[in-house]
A and B are shown apart, each in its own frame.
Chain A
Amino acid sequence: MNRTGTIVALLAAALAAGCATKKGFEKPGFAYGCPLGDAKASSMDDLVRLKVVSEGKRTTILATEMRCTMTGDLLRIDANLNNDSSRVKRIAYKFRWIDREGMRAWEEEVWKPLLMYESSNLTINAVSPTNKAVDFRLLLMSQE
């Protein structure tokens, strides 16, 4: 009976370990290379929800994918934006950089205007201005 119990426990442990190493290349606290802080993200949608913020007039442009990597000691971000409407859309975006204490690591960036053709995708990218920036938010605003 004891042996059966041990086997069941070992199987459960192996299963749990298997699940935990599914994304073995990912560091803890990161998703798709992007820092998560204390938050949890188990999918791309979760990551996008955590990182994208709407400011001012809401836009229908959606961030669909986001990937991060380190260039030297700076954080590099690629974010895919999608315009699934049948009209050209104009938006503005900027990144907000956050330090280890959750405070602003850099001054506010300039709003960057962006034109998106109908039914199109566009990848925007950014590099953190300082190695003090360990987290970020992508801010989107409609310019219609």
Chain B
Amino acid sequence: MIDSNRTRRLALLPLLAAVALAAGCAQEQTRYGDARGIETVTNQFGSTDLQMIAESMTRSMLQAPVIISGNLPIVTVQEVRNKTSEYIDTRAITDTIRAELQKGGKVRFAVDQAAMKQQIEEVQRQQGEFFDKEQATEKGKMVGAQYRMEGNITSIVKQVKDVKDVYYKFNLQLWNIRNGLLEWSDEKEIRKTTTKG
């Protein structure tokens, strides 16, 4: 009787070892991926959408007459309104567009509203007693922008039992601040459909 129990226990050992091994394999694994690869984890706004929009808008804007003219127009970035039902950091989109345009060397950017507070604080700080008066930045020397960039992102979401369809439309505009003319505008559309099963 004891022998039979021992035999049964011994027979269980490989099974327990297999379970332990399987549990070990199920441990989460972290690997680096391609930051510019296509991300389809969910159909919410993702990195591929952000990168595609920024790339498309930048390349289109580079063909705008005010930029082709080569006069290095000065642009300020205003808000991209998020009119979708989900949270989207629109600042991340405009930051990427700004970085790409700046790198291309055809546009200059003036300080925008979001960075104005820091800019003024730094100018005021340099007016303080600890700075060399001759080298300190004077007040009233900042350059104003000639153009302002603003836009919207909207979405239409439709869902039935096993299908969810999301349509995004990103619109960007470049306005002439002096005369109020729209100098350039373009759109990028994205459609993503998720089906279950």
Contact = CB atoms under 8 A, between A and B. Distances in A.
B100 to A, nearest CB: 7
A109 B36 contact: yes
B38 A92 contact: yes
Contact of A129 (B36, B70, B100): B100
Contacts of A143: 38
A71 to B, nearest CB: 5
A127 B55 contact: no
Given A71-B68, A108-B36, A111-B37, A129 B52 contact: no
B182 to A, nearest CB: 20
A78 to B, nearest CB: 13
A114 B60 CA distance: 19
Contacts of B62: 72, 74, 127, 129
Interface centre among A76, A92, A111 (most CB of B within 10 A): A111
A23 interface: no
B63 A110 contact: no
Contacts of B36: 94, 108-111
A49 interface: no
A84 B160 CA distance: 32
B59 interface: yes
B104 interface: yes
Contact of B38 (A109, A113, A127): A113
A100 interface: no
Interface in A56-90: 71-72, 74, 76
B51 interface: yes
Contacts of A76: 63
A129 B60 CA distance: 10
B105 interface: yes
Nearest to B54: A110
A110 B48 contact: yes
Contact of A113 (B48, B58, B59): B48
14 contacts: A72-B70, A76-B63, A94-B36, A109-B55, A110-B52, A110-B55, A113-B38, A127-B59, A127-B62, A127-B63, A129-B58, A129-B59, A130-B103, A130-B105
Interface of A: 71-72, 74, 76, 92, 94, 108-113, 126-127, 129-130, 143
Interface of B: 36-38, 48, 51-52, 55, 58-60, 62-63, 68, 70, 100, 103-105
Given A92-B38, A127-B63, 11 more contacts: A72-B70, A74-B62, A76-B63, A110-B51, A110-B55, A111-B37, A111-B38, A111-B48, A127-B60, A127-B62, A129-B100
